[in-house]
Amino acid sequence: MTKTKAQYDLSTKTDYLNRKMFLDPAGPVTIQRFEEVKYNKAVKLEQTARGFFWVPEEVSLTKDSNDFKDSSDAVKHIFTSNLLRQTALDSLQGRAPSQVFTPVVGLPELEALVYNWSFFETNIHSRSYSHIIRNIYNVPKEVFNTIHDTKEIIDMASSIGDYYDKLHVINCKKELGHKINEMDHIKAIWMALNASYGLEAFRFMVSFATSLAMVENRIFIGNGNIISLILQDELLHKEWTAWMINQVVKEDKRFAKAKEECEAEVYAMYEDVIKEEKDWADYLFKMGPVIGLNASILKEFVDYTAVGALKDIGIKYKGEAPKTTPIPWFNKHSDTSKKQTALQENESTNYVIGVMGENVSYDELPEL
């Protein structure tokens, strides 16, 4: 056993401006102070996320309930399967960031970002899916329980969760005083960051495209309004996960080494994500398509998404992909300030989420 840095010992002074993003030798964050920070971008990302605050209960789902009753079996299968998958994804992502990353975070502004991440996934997004299910299905409990029996959802969650579990075990062993090889710990953090990016950049985007295809067909509008708000949040989560992946390599030679040594494993993980998304498309549309979206189009969207998402973290996609998006209407839904949500007071999304202007460009946030 080795002596570990106490999680809640506030007696040790530390210079956060000279600390590392993850696994700093001085230990975890103690005093949360923000009078000066190492990364202003992390502060601005977290502030932007807080400006997006909204609550799902303000969105009316009365019409959605009628839409579901009037839908074909194929549409019911697509809508329900996609909704349950979104519930599972956010259940995973609501718990994991704060559980596995905060014990190894070395900076207050990064810790705040991670806690904000978990808050939105759990208290906003997961509650949103419960709000939808309660209002559309006669016996919500039975609908939720089918998640555990859907192999396609469980396998997909495990392919991400396994990386979180590995890091969690190492974190716990270290906190209990076990001697942990530092490079093994660094690699576990690196793989967990990439697994998280796979969830944010691939899995969420594919599921949202399916939800919004219903809106394009003028059904499930309330659900679509909620998904548009969640999409706005997840685009920001995708942005900051990519930033963490890119920045930690610039800052820390240990992670630069991990990136080099884990290159094949990381790409193989993304290939698995892409394959699973395409398999999911077959499962989703096994009973038939909806107007404007089918398994073939969704698979092309997976490839198209892969090119940009991987490019953002310095990886070239080796697969074939269309040059232009196969779902041209997807982008308009990501700009929620131009949409009118079905709130009880018929307010615009721009008002509900607070302070964001019409065109928010995350790329304008400076690299520091």
* Stretch 253-266: mean pLDDT: 98
pLDDT grade for 347, boundaries at 50, 70 and 90: very low
Question: Distance of alpha carbon 239 from its chain centroid, rounded?
Answer: 10
pLDDT at site 14: 85
Catalytic residue among 8, 16, 39, 129: 129
Q: How far is CA 184 from CA 48, 107, 145, in A?
A: 34, 21, 37
pLDDT at site 331: 85
Go through the domains of the chain in sequence order and give each one's CATH number: 16-41+59-364 (1.10.620.20)
Distance between CA 266 and CA 194 in Å, rounded? 7
Q: How far is CA 323 from CA 7, 304, 327, in A?
A: 49, 7, 12
Tell me the whole-structure pTM to 2 decimals: 0.89
Average pLDDT for the chain: 89
Contact at 8 Å (CB) between 211 and 224?
yes
**203-213 pLDDT, tens per residue?**
999 999 999 99
pLDDT at site 202: 94
pLDDT grade for 117, boundaries at 50, 70 and 90: very high
Q: Is 164 a catalytic residue?
A: no
Looking at the chain, the whole-number percentage of residues with pLDDT higher than 70 is: 88
Q: How far is CA 251 from CA 18, 256, 365, in A?
A: 11, 8, 18
**32-82 pLDDT, tens per residue?**
999 999 999 999 999 999 999 999 999 999 999 999 999 999 999 999 999
